[in-house]
Amino acid sequence: MTRVTTSVWNDLVGQRRATAFLKRAAASGTIAHAYLFVGPTGAGKKSAARALACTLFCPDLGCGSCPACRRIHSGSHPDFHLVAPGGVAGYVIEQVHEMIRDVHLKPIEASHKVYVLEDVGRFNESSANAFLKTLEEPPEDVVIILLADDYDDVLPTIASRCQVVRFSPVAESVARALVVERTGASEDEAKAALAAAGNVIPRAIAFLNSAGRRNARATIMSILKRLTVMDGHDVLLAARELLTAVRAPVEEMKEIQAEEADAAREYLSKGGVTTMEKRHKRELTAQERDGITEIMSVTESWLRDCLVMAKGMPELVANVDTADATAEVAAVLSVPAALRGLDRVRAARERIAYNVSPQLVVEAMLFDIQEVLRCPR
Ligand SMILES: [Zn+2]
């Protein structure tokens, strides 16, 4: 049996069964050609996919610190592919055809290639059919890992061709402890970061390391606090202010990318530079989308705070730094009104998923919440 250093698995908390299973497969050289990782957002499915890629690419079977491991984590390894649905409605057939062509090319640096497909509940019948043969019999050196929040969302034709690995929800206290350990933040800061990051641990850690994202959260909180006394014009300005605030982290990312590009141009080929530029563009689009999502997550967690306070359970408040202001709102807000507000945020999330302009979505959401706060019974 080969030795497996475990460091790349260390960030996967609360998933002993899933990680033990995958580590065993890696150690015995019996990694399957296709996996379906199923579990709620924040369970660590993507981290586990990265860890599995590390065990394949790393000379020490996943040390976490060699160039291969680091590049998998930064998303810059040429043989590690993270794929998201390419269309508003999900995976599109052109995207699947392109991926199949790519799957059959030889690895560039590593002995294998790993494809991680997010959100595979969003395959439709025809994009799935185009993919099935490849999923069933990929080339020897390819591992395909599919991710889904809910098993029932995945088409049976897809699920039946994969080895299913289940991830359980991670307890908030466990996630919080890891965020505190990794960042040195206080318990309260870690709690608020997890709430803003939709309970995804790596995203919460990145949140605490980004001044731009922390400022954006502060902007959202201050707008929510003033919302009831705003007139229509103020609300429109507030929406614009929010969208400007979530642009700042995108600019932060651009600077980091520019540094990487300067350093990389010295040793990368022309093709390598093009690949890097494509990746940078994808990362920026993702950051923009995450910024908008973060507006929704922070708003949601604030409303949930109002709700738990209205129910007399202040110990469950996620945003302790704004608890005083929240308490004032909670004092007049009824439980049904808070639930109505949460419903409005959910609707806003759906509109974003369907590519409605972020400006319009945020404006509508603020007006909706204002209405809830003004008629709090
Ligand atoms: Zn390594």
Concatenated DSSP letters of 157-204 = HHHTTSEEEE-PPPPHHHHHHHHHHHH---HHHHHHHHHHTTT-HHHH
Q: If you average pLDDT over every residue of the chain, what do you get?
A: 92
**Cα-to-centroid distance, 8 and ligand 1 (Å):** 8
90: tokens are 């999900």
How many angstroms is it from 204 CA to the middle of ligand 1?
Answer: 24
pLDDT tier, 11 (very low <50, low <70, confident <90, very high otherwise): confident
In whole angstroms, how far apart are CA 288 and each of 116, 250, 291, 295? 21, 6, 5, 11
Same domain for 107 and 241, yes or no, is no
Residue 128 lies in a domain: yes
- For residue 80, report the distance from its CA to the centre of ligand 1, in Å: 14
pLDDT at 134 over 90: yes
| Residue at 221: amino acid letter | M
- Flag whether pLDDT at 4 surpasses 80: no
Q: pTM for this structure?
A: 0.84
Domain of residue 106 covers 7-166
Would you say residue 360 lies in a domain? yes
CATH of residue 151's domain is 3.40.50.300
Given a contact cutoff of 8 angstroms between Cβ atoms, the answer to whether 39 and 149 are in contact is yes
Q: Separation of 62 CA from ligand 1 center, angstroms?
A: 5
Residue whose C-alpha is closest to residue 35's, from 139, 127, 114, 131 = 114
Of 138, 166, 194, the residue that ends a domain is 166
Mean pLDDT within 22-30: 91
Residue 72 C-alpha to ligand 1 middle, in angstroms? 9
My answer on whether 91 and 237 are in the same domain is: no
The residue with tokens 């608020």 is 192
In a domain, 204, yes or no: no
- Note the pLDDT of residue 271: 80
Per-residue pLDDT at 2: 45
- The answer on 131 and 265 residing in a single domain is no
Q: Worst-scoring range by mean pLDDT, 1-15, 69-83, 163-177, 203-217? A: 1-15
Within a domain: 270: yes
For the stretch 238-294, pLDDT in tens is 999 999 999 999 999 999 999 988 888 877 788 888 888 888 888 888 888 889 999
Q: Is residue 316 in some structural domain?
A: yes
| pLDDT score, position 72 | 93
Instruction: State in Å: Cα 339 to ligand 1 middle.
Output: 47
* pLDDT for res 337: 92
Comparing 327 with 355, the larger pLDDT belongs to 327
Going by pLDDT thresholds of 50, 70 and 90, the confidence category of residue 45 is: very high
Distance CA 122, CA 99 (A): 16
Dist. CA 119 → ligand 1 center (Å):
27
d(Cα 92, Cα 116) in Å, to the nearest integer? 16
The verdict on residue 330 lying in a domain is yes
Our count of domains for the chain comes to 2
How remote is the CA of residue 66 from the centroid of ligand 1, in Å?
4
Within 10 Å of residue 252's Cβ, how many Cβ atoms?
Answer: 16
Give the integer Cα–Cα distance in Å for 377 and 365.
Answer: 19
138 with 26, same domain?
yes
The pLDDT, as a whole number, for residue 6 is: 52
pLDDT bin (cut points 50, 70, 90) of residue 5 is: very low
Within a domain: 113:
yes
Query: Distance from the CA of 67 to the center of ligand 1, in angstroms?
Result: 7
Position 278 scores a pLDDT of: 85
